[in-house]
Structure 1
Amino acid sequence: MARPVKVLILQFASIGDVVLTSPVVRCLKQQLPNADVHFCTKRDYQPIIAHNPHIAERHYLDGSLVALIRQLRAQQFDYVIDLQNTFVTDLIKTALGTRSYSVEKQSLRQWLYVRWKVNALPDHHIVDRYLATVQPLGIEDDGRGLDYFIPYKDDIETNWLPATHQNDFVAYAIGGRHMTRRLPVLRMIELCLKINYPIVLLGDKDDRKAGEEIVQALGSKQIYNACGHFNLNQSASLLQQARLVFSHDTGLMHIAAAFRKKIYSIWGSTTPQFGFYPYKTAHVRLETSGLGCRPCSSTGTDNCPMKHFNCMNSLPFDFDIKELRTKKKNF
């Protein structure tokens, strides 16, 4: 029997970035003859890849890069696919001494867009750039979008939710890695009033306080604050069951895209032009156009550099939620 072709994928950046690599994982496994696909990421992102059937083995950075490199060397990979292309991944590739392919970075173009508002970025989603990285191996986009695999133990039963939310709800992912990628709480409340439907708020324990403020303003009949109550895969299960998803520019938005949910994506200091908008799913982009200060960052910041935060404070909520038009519920 022929020896497996061992391929290592590197991606340490974020929840969303790891989710966005899933088409590369699938296409490598299904299109590269006799491929064993290994994945290397941070331990925090283990739930995202733990149940992906296309991955043969998983490797985690637990603190010691030297120990990780030693572990990876023992595998004797045939190819390394670097989907992050940073100093750390360069160190790993150099240490392994294996033929590697790295995603094309757009650092200069991103800088021009942020610093001088000159948008020379290609009109491509980041997934397209990920897939272009493996084209030299004969891998083509299969057009099937993102994958996300939820283990049975993390499937949320409807009776785990309040009675008001068991039959139908809208999910709203209120988190975001940086402040300038999240609506202020008062504007979140305004958005929830606009939605006017049972809403499940999703996020981690750091988002729980904001969720409680929304519940206090609008009541538990409309709002269920699930932030911090469920793990990542359980939150994914709730996204899968939601009628619609509202989300800031965050990892849960990409998980929702994996389930082909209709997404209303909310943009502040960052913009969809960086290539991280919902992939291969219906979506509406909510953003404040015409601001000379936007984007102020490609990843978000912890404070508005201009102090006014107009990208979120002035974001219009004049859109029509057609999917709820005949199902409005007043609270």
Structure 2
Amino acid sequence: MKRIIVTRFSAMGDVAMVASVLKEFQKQHDDTEIIMVSRKLFSAFFEHIPRVKFHAFDPKHKHKGLGGIYTLFKELKVYKAEFVADLHNNIRSRTLGFLFKIAGYRTQILDKGRQEKKELTRAENKIKKQLKLTIERYADVFRNLGFAINLSHTLQKEQRLIPTELLGSLASDKKKIGIAPFAQHSYKVFPLSKMEEVIKNLSETKQYEFFIFGGGASEKAIAESWEQKYKQVKNTIGNFTVSQELDIISHLDLMISMDSSGMHMASLVGTRCLSIWGATHPYAGFLGFGQSYEDCIQVEHSNRPSSVYGNKPCDCDGVEAIDLVSSEMILNKIKEL
């Protein structure tokens, strides 16, 4: 059995993309065992993948600083792996990879395509073209280690149990739509008033059930207010584990998400996703595994994208890029399905 240590410490969406790649990798290599190193919260992404052992990375305590990385190195040596695939390429993962390299392990590191992304997002003379998908960049690391892998780029519906609390809703004849309306950066968030218009309009048809995902206390309060206004809305925030959220998403007919983790969680369980784009752009390569470019809802503008991660404003003739998208665009797309 060949053992590969795989590192990707954050962010949530990126780690979910890694899981989608490992699902396909393990199907094509029944003689490999993966040691997945990431934050404990993300362990649920790998529960249904065969021959994957999860090793929790604790950057705030146990694995903090250079000494903590050395501690992690000693922990991982116990697995007696032969290969190290760095799918993060940050200072922590590179330091860890260097320790393994001088110890005689075969190591490879992610090529993020930084120069291409700078050319895509710079303010002037943008080079607007489709860059290599991030999932293919992940696959390239394994290829460079000597492992063949062909990604199908197709959604594969997972069969999961329905959480008992939502058995009635998820087993109903209504169309079931998940909504992940939040993101880490505000420039990627579709205005919540417009999202509520979508919910209100579709609720009036009495043909849909909605499930709200993602966020902390403030986002939970918004989701609960929608739940109180519209009887077809169910808030999941703070009520389910990540594993249970994946169970729920697997039973949806559709997910609506920003360019964020909701899209990648949908991909992981094989659920179609309408994704909404503003300051970022699918050209940067972060479209979810198996998702369709035709399901990206966006308004093209010469100033887009302004950044890869959505952490910078994107002014489009006095309007923020995400505000160019209307609730009617989303409603029309849903009604086409």
* TM tier relative to shorter chain: 0.7 to 0.9
**In 2: Cα distance, 1:198 partner to 1:51 partner:** 27
* Contact 2:22–2:49 (CA under 8 A) maintained in structure 1: no
May I ask how many residue pairs the two structures share in their alignment? 315
Given the superposition, is the C-alpha separation of residues 256 and 74 from structure 1 closer, same or farther in structure 2, using an over 3 Å criterion? same
**In 2: Cα distance, 1:144 partner to 1:163 partner:** 30
Find the counterpart in structure 2 of residue 174 from structure 1. Answer: 181
**In 2: Cα distance, 1:148 partner to 1:59 partner:** 26
1:199 aligned residue (187, 190, 210): 210
Give CA deviations for 1:69-88 in whole Å, capped at 9, x if unaligned: 12123333211111111211
* Contact 1:265–1:285 (CA under 8 A) maintained in structure 2: yes
Residues 227-246 of structure 1: pairs in structure 2 closer than 5 A: 227-246=237-256
* Contact 1:11–1:83 (CA under 8 A) maintained in structure 2: yes
**In 1: Cα distance, 2:29 partner to 2:291 partner:** 27
Question: Identity, % of aligned pairs?
Answer: 18
Find the counterpart in structure 2 of residue 143 from structure 1. Answer: 152
1:172 Cα deviation after fit:
0.8
The aligned amino acid for 1:110 is K
The yes-or-no answer on 1:274 pairing with 2:284 is yes
* Contact 1:81–1:134 (CA under 8 A) maintained in structure 2: yes
**In 2: Cα distance, 1:33 partner to 1:52 partner:** 12
Give CA deviations for 1:198-220 in whole Å, capped at 9, x if unaligned: 3211123342122234345xx23
Given the superposition, is the C-alpha separation of residues 220 and 70 from structure 1 closer, same or farther in structure 2, using an over 3 Å criterion? same
The yes-or-no answer on 1:101 pairing with 2:108 is yes
**In 1: Cα distance, 2:156 partner to 2:51 partner:** 10
* Contact 1:274–1:298 (CA under 8 A) maintained in structure 2: yes
Find the counterpart in structure 1 of residue 55 from structure 2. Answer: 59
Residues 73-88 of structure 1: pairs in structure 2 closer than 5 A: 73-88=77-92
CA RMSD, aligned part only? 3.0
The yes-or-no answer on 1:40 pairing with 2:37 is yes
The aligned amino acid for 2:91 is F
Q: Compare 44-53 and 180-189 and name the one that shifted more.
A: 44-53
**In 2: Cα distance, 1:131 partner to 1:232 partner:** 25
Q: Compare 18-27 and 66-75 and name the one that shifted more.
A: 18-27
1:134 aligned residue (137, 142, 149): 142
Given the superposition, is the C-alpha separation of residues 120 and 220 from structure 1 closer, same or farther in structure 2, using an over 3 Å criterion? closer
Find the counterpart in structure 1 of residue 17 from structure 2. Answer: 20
Q: Compare 91-100 and 222-231 and name the one that shifted more.
A: 222-231
Give CA deviations for 1:110-135 in whole Å, capped at 9, x if unaligned: 12222235136654321112112222
**In 1: Cα distance, 2:122 partner to 2:151 partner:** 36
**In 2: Cα distance, 1:239 partner to 1:304 partner:** 30
**In 1: Cα distance, 2:277 partner to 2:31 partner:** 42
The aligned amino acid for 2:19 is S
* Contact 1:171–1:245 (CA under 8 A) maintained in structure 2: yes
Q: TM-score, normalization: structure 2?
A: 0.81
* Contact 2:246–2:269 (CA under 8 A) maintained in structure 1: no
* Contact 2:157–2:270 (CA under 8 A) maintained in structure 1: no
* Contact 1:249–1:267 (CA under 8 A) maintained in structure 2: yes
Find the counterpart in structure 1 of residue 310 from structure 2. Answer: 300
* Contact 1:22–1:146 (CA under 8 A) maintained in structure 2: no
Given the superposition, is the C-alpha separation of residues 16 and 131 from structure 1 closer, same or farther in structure 2, using an over 3 Å criterion? same
**In 2: Cα distance, 1:164 partner to 1:106 partner:** 41
Given the superposition, is the C-alpha separation of residues 164 and 13 from structure 1 closer, same or farther in structure 2, using an over 3 Å criterion? closer
Find the counterpart in structure 1 of residue 127 from structure 2. Answer: 119
**In 2: Cα distance, 1:150 partner to 1:68 partner:** 35
1:284 aligned residue (287, 292, 295): 295
Q: TM-score, normalization: structure 1?
A: 0.83
Find the counterpart in structure 1 of residue 74 from structure 2. Answer: 70
Given the superposition, is the C-alpha separation of residues 236 and 28 from structure 1 closer, same or farther in structure 2, using an over 3 Å criterion? closer
**In 1: Cα distance, 2:276 partner to 2:212 partner:** 15
The aligned amino acid for 2:113 is Q
**In 2: Cα distance, 1:122 partner to 1:313 partner:** 23
Given the superposition, is the C-alpha separation of residues 261 and 28 from structure 1 closer, same or farther in structure 2, using an over 3 Å criterion? closer
Give CA deviations for 1:248-296 in whole Å, capped at 9, x if unaligned: 1111211212333222111121111111113224451111222x43222
Q: Compare 102-111 and 120-129 and name the one that shifted more.
A: 120-129
**In 2: Cα distance, 1:30 partner to 1:131 partner:** 14
1:10 Cα deviation after fit:
0.9
* Contact 1:173–1:203 (CA under 8 A) maintained in structure 2: yes
**In 2: Cα distance, 1:146 partner to 1:71 partner:** 35
Give the match's secondary structure for 2:76: helix
1:325 Cα deviation after fit:
6.3
**In 1: Cα distance, 2:262 partner to 2:40 partner:** 18
